């Protein structure tokens, strides 16, 4: 049982480049989330999804896009990377009905 | 909008002392509250999950209480050890969202 898997673990991007952060879960969870964590700070919600085909914005969605075509996958797309997007990105999932949230190991992104 | 606050932001104690970490939230209509541990440069490790109908949850040296009506949770770590040094985060699940506090960074001195 792999849980929540994020790829890549590390990435350096140049300003203006684009990339997709991958997130997959094998627990059949309907809720999935993307967070970013800046140094010394808590986690801020970027986007979330309550099921396949349904996504919504969190606190800090600007500069990002998501899709949820399957229950398992929830990729996060960065278009036109900016230095302000340098952060650690975490994906999480849980099953609706008050259950434990599971997190991936994170993707450390640097934009130079 | 759910706001989650953790006090203190940092804590340093000698080994063997008990730790008390606080988490408060503004909207009492929650499904559950979860405590996590984060080591430097690492991901989040779940410690305890308290359902909204529960008052406390225990795992080994860890005990977490929940007072939903006052919007507070407390994580107690008994007989602290240097290995307990980490950042502890609380997360509140309400509606579809999981809202986090900024964390308490704990240092246990040998």
**pLDDT tens digit string along B60-104?**
999 999 999 999 999 999 999 999 999 999 999 987 789 999 999
Q: Quick one: tokens of A107?
A: 């993707």
How far A106 CA lies from chain B's nearest CA (Å)?
6
Inter-chain touch B32–A90, beta carbons under 8 Å: no
Share of chain A above pLDDT 90, in %: 88
* Chain A residues inside the 8 Å CB shell of B31: 97-98
**Alpha-helical regions (H) of chain B:** none
- The Cα angle at residue A83 between residues A81 and A86, in degrees rounded to 5: 90
Inter-chain touch A98–B101, beta carbons under 8 Å: no
Q: Contact at 8 Å (CB) between A23 and A104?
A: yes
Of all residues in chain B, the one with the smallest CA distance to A49 is B96
Strands (E), chain B: 4-7, 10-14, 19-25, 32-38, 44-51, 56-59, 62-67, 72-77, 86-94, 97-100, 104-109
Q: Contact at 8 Å (CB) between B93 and B32?
A: yes
pLDDT at residue B36 in the model = 96
Q: How confident is the model at residue A40 (pLDDT cuts 50, 70, 90)?
A: confident
Size of interface A-B (CB pairs under 8 A): 54
How far B17 CA lies from chain A's nearest CA (Å)?
25
Instruction: Return d(Cα A47, Cα B96) in angstroms, integer.
Output: 11
């Amino acid at each position: 049982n792999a849980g929540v898997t994020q790829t890549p673990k590390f990435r350096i991007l140049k300003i203006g480049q684009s990339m997709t952060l991958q997130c997959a879960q094998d627990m059949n969870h309907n809720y999935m989330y993307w967070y970013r964590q800046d140094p010394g700070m808590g986690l801020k919600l970027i986007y979330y999804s309550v099921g396949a085909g349904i996504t919504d914005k969190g606190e800090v969605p600007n500069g990002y896009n998501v899709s949820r075509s399957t229950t398992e996958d929830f990729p996060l797309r960065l278009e036109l990377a900016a230095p302000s997007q340098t952060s650690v990105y975490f994906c999480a999932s849980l099953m609706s009905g008050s259950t434990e949230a599971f997190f991936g190991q994170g993707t450390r992104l640097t934009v130079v | 909008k759910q706001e989650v606050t953790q006090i203190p932001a940092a804590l340093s104690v000698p080994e063997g002392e008990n730790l008390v970490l606080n988490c408060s939230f503004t909207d009492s209509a929650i499904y559950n509250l979860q405590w996590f541990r984060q080591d430097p440069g690492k991901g989040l490790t779940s410690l305890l999950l308290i359902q909204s109908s529960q008052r406390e949850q225990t795992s080994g040296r860890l005990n977490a209480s929940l007072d939903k009506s006052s919007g507070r949770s407390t994580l107690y770590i008994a007989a602290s050890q240097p290995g307990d040094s980490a950042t502890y985060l609380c997360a509140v699940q309400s509606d579809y969202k999981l809202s986090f506090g900024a964390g308490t960074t704990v240092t246990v001195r040998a």
